[in-house]
Amino acid sequence: MPNSPKISLKGSERVALAGAHSTGATDPHQIIEISVVLKQRTPVKADQSRDRFLTHHEFAAQHGAQPEHVELMRKFARENNLHMLERGDEIERRTVTLSGTVAAMEKAFSVELRDYEHPEGTYRGRVGSIQVPEEYAQCIQGVFGLDDRPAAKPHYRYKTVQGAFGARDTSTSYAPSTVAQLYEFPNANAASSGPAIGIIELGGGYRPADLKKYFEGLGLKTPQVKAVSVDHAKNRPTTAQSADGEVMLDIEVAGAVAQGTPIVVYFAENTDRGFQDALSTAIHDQLNRPCAISISWGGPESSWTQAAMESMDQIAAEAAALGITITVASGDSGSSDGVSDNANHVDFPASSPNVLACGGTSLVAAGNAIGSEAVWNDGAQGGATGGGYSSVFPIPTYQANAVTGNMRGVPDVAGDADPDTGYNVRVDGQAMVVGGTSAVAPLWAGLIAVLNQNLNRRLGFVNPQLYSMNQSAGFHDITQGNNGAYSAAPGWDPCTGLGSPDGAGLLAALQSAVSTAQSRNASEKREQAPSHHGQTT
């Protein structure tokens, strides 16, 4: 029914980037690819207790795309002169890839694609909403990739001394393994074949020789690092001034604090399509099977479409059902999140209720212990931890007793992020000091992997457990400093969340919780077992 009336897809509205101007229509003969995300068979609820996590097969059967919806998209492609590129995981990832000319895409989705220039580069864009016939709209969650503007920024900050880029001076900086020691992380016992840590990257790359030299310098075994290409993106290292700093920081922090744990880096283009395709590819990766996924990229909620945020939040909930923890940097631009409208903003995907949002502190050691720790805030130019309250997502039940208000509070947890107390890393052959909340996401992903190893089980969506435990048992409460509009305070606050980790305390509290849950489950099973009293054989 190609001529049937079309309806707008909910939340697909776009406006041009601020400061952008159109340079003309996009070449109608250009071939592009897009991702059509289909609706879940049944909704996934992440915020629930789970005796066991779903297998990928169980997930596909319960929550994956309906097979008839995939077939419907094949019909849509045929009707609109598009090609459906079959990957074999359309049911699990709920994602169909379509390829075709710009002209065919414009007709199929009732959009006009134009080329734009803006202060940070160029992009192919659209304004208004995406429209499809109603028979197809009922199965579509969102359409991504028609517009390829940058979706996110990496949340890292180089230490700068007297104008020297990334330089070290006599101020405090640490090896990631030293930070782990200060936070009393448990020992890692991972074998090379153990559950991996996944890392999402939207640009940059790493050089294996650099990693080898870095870990040898720390006296550690170089972790097994594998690159996975998503939507044709590659591991493409260039210079230290590029996103290479983000990639190397993430790998080196995660690899140093979760020693021996394999690392899988999912490279995608920096678009809303690339971002969520990378995340869905990672959580449904049955070859590498990451137990934790670190994300150090994001942007203000106001820069995303509603459809993109809802879709990525659903994917994060799917990770929880599969026993995968997602850790996300909360941003480096304080309570404004870099938006110049004199209002407060939080970063997405950190604001998703289905991820562990990671804020930043300034950490000063006193020998082998923490001397002092406060909110990271180096001012407007130096950076400050992101945090505040979502304007999109309502408060999740796990925050009900900790967060005042009715909207999702960010962050959940924190860790060292100040470049002035930053991490010694190696980027493209150069030794540097790097900070930012980008460092905190892989720090916590590494901690989750180590906790999993010690508990001999996956924690999965850990937020409900962290908020329900005695905070003093697993966290260093941060009560000094601010990120602009918000100040630290006893208990949860919109600067550092519950606080920075006490790894040994977290492990003990989680072991106790696991033991209690196992005893309760065993008791319930005994009570539910049929009685055979009085029966004879």
143: amino acid identity, one letter: V
Q: Are 507 and 186 in contact (CB under 8 A)?
A: yes
Sign of the torsion angle spanned by Cα atoms 375, 270, 290, 394:
positive
Tell me if 33 sits within 8 A of 277, measured CB to CB. no
* Range 457-468 burial, b when 16+ CB lie within 10 A, else e: ebbbbbbbbbbe
Q: Report how far residue 239's alpha carbon sits from residue 231's, in angstroms, rounded to the nearest whole number.
A: 23
What CA–CA distances, in Å, run from 324 to 43, 285, 290? 17, 11, 7
184 is catalytic: no
What residues contact 477, with CB distance under 8 A and at least 6 apart? 471, 490, 491, 498, 499
Residue of 280, 296, 303, 438 marked active site = 438
Cα 441 from Cα 526, distance rounded (Å): 41
And the tokens for 521?
């489950």
Backbone conformation region of residue 151, classed left if phi is above 0, alpha if psi is from -120 to 50, else beta:
alpha
DSSP 339-387: --SSS---EETTT-TTSEEEEEEEEEEETTEEEEEEE-B-HHHH-B---
Cα separation values, 348 from 90, 199, 275, 338, Å: 25, 17, 12, 13
Q: Which listed residue (90, 147, 148, 250) is catalytic?
A: 250
Tell me whether residue 250 is one of the annotated catalytic residues: yes
**Residue 283 structure tokens:** 């959580």
First CA to last CA distance, the chain: 66
Which of 210, 246, 318, 416 is catalytic? The answer is 246
Nearby residues of 426 by Cβ (< 8 Å), 6 or more positions away: 210, 211, 213, 214, 217, 248, 252, 432
Task: Single out the residue of 227, 193, 229 nearest to residue 207, CA to CA.
Answer: 227
To the query of whether residue 47 is one of the catalytic residues in this protein, the response is no
Dihedrals phi, psi of 413, to nearest 5 degrees: -140, 180
The residues near 5 (Cβ < 8 Å, ≥ 6 apart) are 133, 134
* E strand intervals along 417-514: 423-427, 430-435, 475-476, 500-501
50 vs 249: CA distance, rounded Å: 33
| Separation CA 13–CA 354 (nearest Å) | 24
SS (H, E, C) 108-163: HHCCCCEEEEECCEEEEECCECCEEEHHHHCCEEEEECCCCCCCCEECCEECEECC
Contacts of 219 (CB under 8 A, 6+ apart): none
Can you say whether the dihedral through the CA atoms of 450, 452, 455, 456 is positive or negative? negative
- The residues annotated as belonging to the active site are 246, 250, 438
